[in-house]
Amino acid sequence: GAGVSQSPSNKVTEKGKDVELRCDPISGHTALYWYRQSLGQGLEFLIYFQGNSAPDKSGLPSDRFSAERTGGSVSTLTIQRTQQEDSAVYLCASSPVGNEQFFGPGTRLTVL
Amino acid sequence: EDKVVQSPLSLVVHEGDTVTLNCSYEVTNFRSLLWYKQEKKAPTFLFMLTSSGIEKKSGRLSSILDKKELFSILNITATQTGDSAVYLCAVEAAGNKLTFGGGTRVLVKP
């Protein structure tokens, strides 16, 4: 069975450009999470989708960050006008009913 | 604001040693505490704890939760070089959102 997948695995971009990161959760998982891990830091919550409910966006660091989840499955995290401090590994996780989250391999974003 | 603090930040041990990792938390509407092991990028799940005083074990790893004193410990006995990783503690509160600690980096030397 496929796990959570993310693409691209690595992304290098120039400051000021927009980037889109994709997450394909495990089929049937109703919850989807985005996290960010900066070098040497713990995981930072960004946004949470649960079914058809309004997403919990409380972790998004600025209005340059947005995410959507289409059809309750695939999610895209968009960062507009990227800054160097956006460089991090962006992790996606999905969860069935219950608590355990299954993480994807992450996307390493480098903003030059 | 929910808070999770892990200690120590890092430690270095030799194979065969036992390590104890600490996680303390301040969370409103606690639901569960989870431990993860992170070697490359994605953390892998180790334990989920919801009840105080009940030890969970998996091979050489074990963990216990104290909901009165608001902490958990993760023990690794007879450490091996493959145990080298960052160990993350996370607490889930109402709303299914996890708050992660900063992690403990463990290095096991041969």
Q: What is the pLDDT, as a whole number, of residue A67?
A: 96
DSSP state for residue A15 in the 8-state scheme: T
End-to-end CA, chain A: 37
Per-residue pLDDT of chain A (112 residues; tens, 9 = 90+): 578 999 999 999 999 999 999 999 999 888 899 999 877 666 788 998 988 888 888 889 999 999 999 887 999 999 999 999 999 989 999 888 655 778 888 899 999 9
Q: Is it true that the peptide bond before A25 is cis, omega within 30 degrees of 0?
A: no
DSSP state for residue A59 in the 8-state scheme: T
Q: Does A7 touch chain B (CB under 8 A)?
A: no
pLDDT at B95 over 80: no
Q: What is the number of CB-based contacts under 8 A between chain A and chain B?
A: 57
Residue A57 Cα, gap to closest chain B Cα (Å): 11
- How many whole angstroms separate alpha carbon B30 and alpha carbon B6? 17
Q: Does B101 touch chain A (CB under 8 A)?
A: yes
pLDDT at B18 over 70: yes
- In angstroms, the Cα distances linking A48 to A35, A72, A97, B25 are 9, 12, 14, 21
pLDDT digits (tens, 9 = 90+) for B29-85: 898 899 999 886 678 889 999 989 999 999 999 999 999 999 999 999 999 999 999
pLDDT digits (tens, 9 = 90+) for B71-81: 999 999 999 99
Q: For the residues B77-104, what does the mean pLDDT come to?
A: 87
Across the interface, do B88 and A43 touch by the CB < 8 Å criterion? Answer: yes
Q: What is the pLDDT, as a whole number, of residue A78?
A: 98
- Closest chain A residue to the Cα of B40, Cα to Cα: A105
pLDDT digits (tens, 9 = 90+) for B1-16: 788 999 999 999 999 9
- Closest chain A residue to the Cα of B50, Cα to Cα: A99
